Amino acid sequence: MTTLHFGIEAMCDSLPRELKEVKSRCDESLSLVQKLGEDVRNISSELRPGMLDHLGLVPTLKWYIAEFAKRIGGLHIDFQTVGLKERPGPEIEIVLYRILQEALNNIAKHSEAKHVNVLLTYSHPKLICTIKDDGIGFEQTEDRVPFGSENQGIGLLGMRERVGSVGGTMDIRSKNAEGTMIRVELPISLREAGD
């Protein structure tokens, strides 16, 4: 999509001034491509990997972690679950899946970590997920936003928003040279009688 965007843009720019009508059509196409890009992004963020529905949360996370570790050489990822006997519901599952994806991407991209510990604990009425790396960490401002984050991706902010959207909380603790820990707490109501 980006290639298409730049291609059309270059085409627009290279048109001679006289071809006003062609140029305006070209501009229209450009804004269509932009709109399309936004739509695609919105739609794909709604999508759930089919595996989540078919196999459930824990096997999907296990699979994702194994694939991720294969792709990123030299990174050992440990995954444990405690007390999670039932599935926490589709909304919570997708939030956790996306959180893990972004956290691991960040670890691969920024942390220089060798080990990661992922722990998923069900402690009524919450599901707690911690993702801890032994990498270089980063400086945080008082409200635990990384310095300079305005110029960077929306990863951590997006994570916080996702967690917030299901009534959960997220805490990030990171210090230079001391690694990073992300802790997410999500309220879950298991679909049991009397719950």
Ligand X SMILES: Nc1ncnc2c1ncn2[C@@H]1O[C@H](COP(=O)(O)OP(=O)(O)O)[C@@H](O)[C@H]1O
Binding site for ligand X (CB under 6 A): 106-107, 109-111, 133, 135-138, 146, 149, 152-153, 155-156, 180
Does 49 bind Mg ion (CB under 5 A)? Our answer is: no
Residue 33 or residue 163: which is nearer to ligand X going by CB? 163
∠ Cα 13 19 25 (to 5°): 70
How do strand 180-187 and strand 169-174 relate by DSSP bridges? antiparallel
Do 168 and 184 form a contact (C-beta atoms < 8 A)? yes
> CB 189 → ligand X: shortest distance, Å?
30
Site for Mg ion in 148-167 (CB under 5 A): 153, 155
Site for Mg ion in 80-109 (CB under 5 A): 106
> CB 26 → Mg ion: shortest distance, Å?
34
Residue 107 or residue 170: which is nearer to ligand X going by CB? 107
Q: Which residue do the tokens 């879950």 mark?
A: 188
Tell whether the torsion through CA atoms of 131, 137, 142 and 147 is positive or negative: negative
Q: Which of 118, 112, 156, 106 is nearest to 135 (CA)?
A: 112
Residue 55 or residue 145: which is nearer to ligand X going by CB? 145
Residue 31 or residue 152: which is nearer to ligand X going by CB? 152
Neighbours of 128 (CB within 10 A): 16
- Interface residues with Mg ion (CB under 5 A) are 106, 153, 155
